[in-house]
Amino acid sequence: MPLLLGPFVRATLLALWLVFAGFTCTGSEHATATLPASFSDLLPHFLVEPEDEFIVKNKPVTLTCRSTPATQIYFKCNGEWVHQDDHLIERTVDPATALPIMQVTIDITRQQVEKIFGLDEYWCQCVAWSTTGTQKSQKAYIRIAYLRKNFEEEPQGKEVALDQEVLLRCHPPEGVPQAEVEWQRNEDVINPASDPNYFITTDHNLVIKKARLADTGNYTCVAKNIVARRKSTSATVLVYVDGGWSEWSKWSACGSDCSMWRSRECTQPSPGTGGKDCQGLDLQSLNCTSEQCPQTVNGAEDVALYVGMVAVALCLTLLLIVVVLVYRRKKEGLDADVADSSILTTGFQPMGIKPSKPENSHLLTIQPDLTTTTTSYQGTLRSRHDATGKFSMTNGPLLDPLPNGSHTLHNGKLNSDPAEFVSRLSTQSYFKTLPRDVANTSYGTFNFLGGRLTIPNTGISLLIPPEAIPRGKIYEIYLTVQRKEDLRLPLAGCQTLLSPVVSCGPPGVVLSRPVILSMDHCSDACLDNWAVRLKKQNYEGTWEDVLLMGEELVSEPYYCQLEAETCRLFTEQLGTLALVGESLHMGAAKRLRLVLFSDAYCSTLEYNIRVYCMDDTQDVFKEVMQMERQLGGRLIDEPHVLLFKDSYHNLRLSIHDMPQAHWRSKLLAGYQEIPFYHIWNGSQRYLHCTFTLERLSLSTCELTCQLCVWQVEGEGQSFSLDFNIAKDTRAVDSEFLLMDSNATALAGPSAFQIPYLIRQKICSSLDAPCPNGADWRMLAQRLKLERHMSFFASKASPTSVILDLWEAQHFHSGNINQLATVMADIGKQEAMIFLVSDGEC
């Protein structure tokens, strides 16, 4: 049998076969031969198969295929046989097995690949034959290598505190093969293996785990592949150190002036690289006791000293008595003005309530003044002391009064220049860091009657209930919304900002009752998905957690009600506040508002559509509308809301279904993408992408298309656009901003819907508990506020706190008659609640 021949015989037969077949060792002949009968029963198998290759610039690539035993080998590329003249053939013999080996190579040029570029990938495969059958090699893909010049995302410079985590993002340019990424600091390559404080993520971002002073520098993202090497623009990271106070020194000895002192220095640590200086006193003095004071007076000098002290004490006592008497008389005059029922009862007329007791009938028969829309309170809000007097700045950063010593309110509105107030406010030491943004600041002067501050079109307001400011005190109070870039609000891990950053103050003022700060939030309002914290900035600029939603303690100075889109914060301490949410699982979502703008006027072939993705709060929408108005943009569709989940998936935007005969997109890729972290805990609360379209003729004005925005593996929204780009050339105007016509500051009775005297009557009727439950608890249930029973019960007047919350919720849309109906319903279960006396409870 042929297969039983010895190796020597088989080698002799193979040599004779090669001689008589007329083949040489190399050549470009047909890749075909006839095998001796000894090898005719073997299938060919591949020793070398073609591999994937990249064409760099214009240099062709070579594919190689080697098989044994084989009668012929040919290449097939993209389903077509390569011409036999393009094959380079080489034949040898395997010395170990004496089997013939055939090797074939071909060259692939850039022009061949470019012929089908964009339609399919270019591939080649070799096929080997023997008398027994055929075998196919693996496919080899040939791609044109490139590396684009522009990074899809470049690192951004940052200023970070010492020991804070730093994240620098980098999305390298598109390339084939995919670019490798390395990071450089000051042109030196960063090696995380040698410095574990650095970490490079799988998506090429650089993480500095704890910022050190030595980490200050210029960071560059470098992308490279077989074609080229690209560098991003450098991002400067500045690590700053805020100053800390050293320990107080020991008290000095008592000096000749009967005082001793101690000091401390801003050296632990010293402020560096732009960090903040220490806040507070660096020198304290204290009066010595008489035993420690070195000064002594003897004999007649003692008598004279004591007589003088007694005389001064008598004079001060008489002066104090006179001041108290004058103050009481003035106060009685002011309270008499407040008790005017025409002021305090305007606009309240309960529905369907008929009093059964004559002595209380006046409460329900007061008729509203239908000839006026606001209550008038004319007169000074300052106590009638010496007009030249100043408020003391001791024990709290209260502001100095205005130069003329008084404010006059007409119809409850404050008529003072906001710019003048902000300028004067910023001269105070604590307020120098506040932004001078008049458009987003409101202020007013208030006393015990209370009032309200509102920032139009932001959803932000501050309700100051009656009696919140102690009687005899007058405060100048401000309310402002901070732009995110003005503050360093540290976010880590799964944390995200859910509300605007709001400042109200001055901080440190004494309040008798909580005020209510209302502001929008953008969470899905499901506390099972979130750990929502209230953060407050302290005097040193550090952010502190002061409240965890759902775990409020009634003894704390903060309490929060989270509604579907609004947060109502009860606070007894003013300051800079913000809501931060930390997702508990990937089901947590924040609301994004998607808004589309375009140019109001287009005279070129190019036409831009800007898609904004922002937190779904009114203050961010107002900021974007104001910015687009300056750019001359116009709103081209109604805003949509998208739930963006904490799934680490990016947000994608694409445009489809344009009439190809008239329009084309200049976008190279099929979609644009906003990274997840830019939205979840990025530095801006609004981001945007621009789609640049090109019309093929200036006469083309009709545009129809579909614009889609979706989170990868998540929810999406679609805009169906159909409009004429030439007809409506109106820029963003006030009609789109829905300007709030209400006054930014209201003081006294006009700031509330419930008249002052009626409010007092309701409180006195409902505060005392009734056995049948017809008290403040039933009022809370009727108003669907029973979740806060413990908080209300902790207050001296639970009813007043409930009414404060009702005022905050219904200032713009509330119907006083609806509240009267609720009161009537409570009264129907027992007696009319307005007419129940204390004895009957």
Per-residue pLDDT, 775 = 87
Q: Is the pLDDT of residue 353 over 70?
A: no
Tell how strand 198-200 and strand 188-189 pair up.
unpaired
For residue 133, give Cα distances in angstroms to 75, 130, 352, 510: 17, 5, 101, 97
pLDDT score for 444: 93
The residue ranking higher by pLDDT, 14 or 191, is 191
Read off the pLDDT band of 62 (50, 70, 90): very high
Least confidently predicted of 15-29, 113-127, 694-708: 15-29
CB 160 within 8 A of CB 239: yes
pLDDT recorded at residue 155 = 92
**Burial (CB count within 10 angstroms: exposed 0-12, middle 13-18, buried 19+), residue 3:** exposed
Instruction: Give the pLDDT of residue 330.
Output: 63
DSSP-derived secondary structure letter, 554? T
Q: At what angle do helices 798-809 and 756-766 cross, to 10 degrees?
A: 130
Residue 743 and residue 453: Cα distance in Å, rounded? 8
Rounded mean pLDDT, 660-683: 86
Higher pLDDT, 254 or 193: 193
Question: Would you say 602 and 726 are in contact if contact means Cβ atoms under 8 Å apart?
Answer: yes
Per-residue pLDDT at 378: 31
pLDDT at 405: 34
Helix (H, G, I), strand (E, B) or coil at 379: coil
Element (H, E) at 306: helix 300-338
Q: Is the pLDDT of residue 120 over 80?
A: no
pLDDT > 80? residue 340: no
Q: What pLDDT score was predicted for residue 482?
A: 86
| In the predicted structure, residue 649 carries a pLDDT above the cut 50 | yes
More confident residue, 763 or 330: 763
Confidence of residue 11 (pLDDT cuts 50, 70, 90): very low
Task: Give the CA angle between residues 704, 634, 441 to the nearest 5°.
Answer: 145
The contacts of residue 631 (CB under 8 Å, 6+ apart) are: none
Segment 797-824, tens digit of pLDDT: 999 999 999 999 887 666 777 788 888 8
The mean per-residue pLDDT over the stretch 776-804 comes to 90
**What per-residue confidence (pLDDT) applies to 220?**
94
pLDDT value at residue 265? 81
How high is the pLDDT of residue 287?
75
The answer, yes or no, to whether residue 383 has pLDDT greater than 50, is no
Task: Determine what percent of the chain is predicted with pLDDT higher than 90.
Answer: 36
What's this model's pTM, rounded to 2 decimal places? 0.54
DSSP for 527-540 reads: TTTEEEEEEEE-TT
Residue pair 755/346 in contact by the 8 Å Cβ criterion? yes
pLDDT value of position 540: 81
Q: How many CB atoms lie within 10 A of CB 186?
A: 10
Top-confidence residue, 38 or 674 = 674
Q: In what order do the strands lie in the sheet with 702-711?
A: 672-674, 651-656, 702-711, 716-724
* Residue 757: band (very low, low, confident or very high) from pLDDT cuts 50, 70, 90: confident
Q: Given a cut of 60, is residue 190 above it in pLDDT?
A: yes
- Which tops the pLDDT comparison, 402 or 640? 640
What mean pLDDT is predicted for residues 400-416? 39
Structural contact between residues 525 and 643, judged by C-beta atoms closer than 8 angstroms: no
Q: What is the mean pLDDT of residues 692-707?
A: 91
Contact between 588 and 581 under an 8 Å Cβ cutoff? The reply is: yes
pLDDT tens digits along 66-84: 998 888 999 999 889 999 8
Q: Which range, of 220-229, 246-255, 431-440, 459-468, averages the lowest pLDDT? A: 431-440
User: Is cis: bond before 418, omega within 30 of 0?
Assistant: no
Strand, coil or helix: 292: coil
Specify the range with the lowest mean pLDDT, choosing from 253-262, 414-423, 753-762.
Answer: 414-423
Instruction: Note the pLDDT of residue 731.
Output: 57
What pLDDT shows up at residue 360?
35
Q: Write out the two tokens for 371.
A: 């000839």
Confidence of residue 304 (pLDDT cuts 50, 70, 90): low
Q: Which one, of 653, 551, 641, 635, lies nearest residue 596 by Cα?
A: 635
180's CB contacts (< 8 A; 6+ apart) are 223, 224, 225
What the block records as the tokens of 429 is 């030491």
pLDDT of residue 289: 65
Close Cβ partners of 712 (under 8 Å, ≥ 6 residues apart):
649, 650, 651, 652
Other C-beta atoms lying within 10 Å of the C-beta of residue 198: 18
Q: Is beta strand 672-674 parallel, antiparallel or unpaired with respect to 451-455?
A: unpaired
Residue, of 589 and 119, whose pLDDT is higher: 589
CA neighbor of 484 nearest in space, from 495, 498, 500: 500
The predicted structure's pLDDT at residue 418: 56
597 or 361, higher pLDDT: 597
Phi then psi for 28, rounded to 5 degrees? Answer: -115, 30
What per-residue confidence (pLDDT) applies to 615? 94
What is the model's pLDDT at position 811?
A: 78
Q: Name which residue leads in pLDDT, 277 or 203.
A: 203
126-135, 334-343, 659-668, 756-765: which range is least confident on average? 334-343
Pair 461, 518: CB distance under 8 Å: yes
Number of alpha helices (DSSP H) and beta strands (DSSP E) in the chain: 13, 47
What is the C-alpha to C-alpha distance for residues 778 and 783, in angstroms, rounded to an integer? Answer: 9
What per-residue string of b and e applies to 739-773 under the rule 16 or more CB within 10 Å gives b? ebeebbbbbbbbbbbbbbbbbbbbbebbeeebeee
With tokens 């800007």, the residue in question is 610
Distance CA 7, CA 632 (A): 89
Greater model confidence, 588 or 18: 588
Indicate the average pLDDT of the chain.
78
- Predicted confidence (pLDDT) per residue in 474-518, tens digit: 999 999 998 755 566 888 778 999 999 999 999 888 999 999 999
Taking residues 556-579, report their average pLDDT: 93
Point out the least confidently predicted range of 218-222, 246-250, 526-530, 602-606: 246-250
pLDDT cut 70: percent of the chain above it: 75
Query: Of the ranges 75-84, 297-306, 424-433, which is most confident?
Result: 75-84
Quick one: average pLDDT of 692-708? 91
